[in-house]
Amino acid sequence: MPKQPEVQDAHVQDAQVIPVVEEHLEISHRQVETGGAVRVRKQVEEVPVELAEQIALDRIEVERVPVGRIISEPMGVRQEGNVTIVPVMEERLVRAWVLVEEIRLTRREQTAEAREAFTLKRDKVVVERFDPATQQWLPEEGGPPNHNQE
Spell out the SS3 assignment of 37-99. CEEEEEEEEEEEEEEEEEEEEEEEEEEEEEEEEEECCCCCCEEECCEEEEEEEEECCCCCEEE
pLDDT at 141: 75
pLDDT at res. 38: 81
Supply the DSSP symbol for 110.
E
Residues 6+ apart with CB under 8 A from 109: 56, 57, 58, 59
pLDDT tens, per residue, the chain with 150 residues: 555 555 555 555 667 778 878 787 788 877 776 666 788 888 889 989 898 888 888 889 999 999 988 888 899 999 999 899 999 998 877 777 888 898 888 888 888 888 888 888 888 888 888 888 888 888 887 655 555 444
pLDDT the model gives residue 148: 47
Indicate the SS3 state at residue 13: helix
Query: Are 119 and 48 a contacting pair, CB within 8 Å?
Result: yes
Local structure of residue 15 (DSSP, 8 states)? P
Position 149 scores a pLDDT of 46
Residue closest to 61 by CA, chosen among 82, 77, 87: 82
